[in-house]
Amino acid sequence: MERERPDPMRPGDVVEVRSTYRGRVRWAFPHRVVADDGERFALYLAPGAEGVWMGRDPDGGYLERWISGEPPHPHVWQRHHVLSLTRRGDEHSLWHLWDDDWAFVCWYIQLQAPLREARGGLETTDHALDVVVDPDGTWRWKDEDDFAEAQALGVFTPDEAAAVRAEGERVIAVHPWPTGWEDWRPHPAWPLAQLPPSWTREPSGQVPGTVPGTWPERT
């Protein structure tokens, strides 16, 4: 039986995106919905957005705390404007990163469990391994040390780890960039998105001039 599509999110809505592990939130940040055609959606994370994350230890590690019951800590997202493109059911999200002055920095393949609507937000599990793609198309794996540690700690079985890396290799082979979103800018009327106190989705209403499911042509 064909899976029923969820109702599209409305452009301008604020939605919490969170990564969990064994039911515990590991990071969560408020995103603004840019577009949603029912199959794929675009979300915007702005510098200055307040959320929570686990942070890193002085030696750069974090995974021993990540798998424990330690709660996440308040954190302000900094440095990069992020526009993420995600197809429902995919085990990755394609991020676009710009600096504070909107100079394009890179594409970023965020490897993760398929995003699912849960408890009023969008929920996933970060897979600890990512891919960075420079504007000239040169790519490299990111956080391989974290990925190896996650396997040593039992977060991933060997088969699961192989599937995570295979997903990254698959996306690299497809080469879905440029996407047509590289010159995108947020609606000037959008305020900084905030997490509601209850960590649930809090619609802010559709912003004039935005059209649900509007996507640029890929060039």
**Residues annotated catalytic, as ranges:** 142
- Cα(75)–Cα(54) distance, rounded to whole angstroms? 9
d(CA 43, CA 157): 31
Q: What amino acid occupies position 8?
A: P
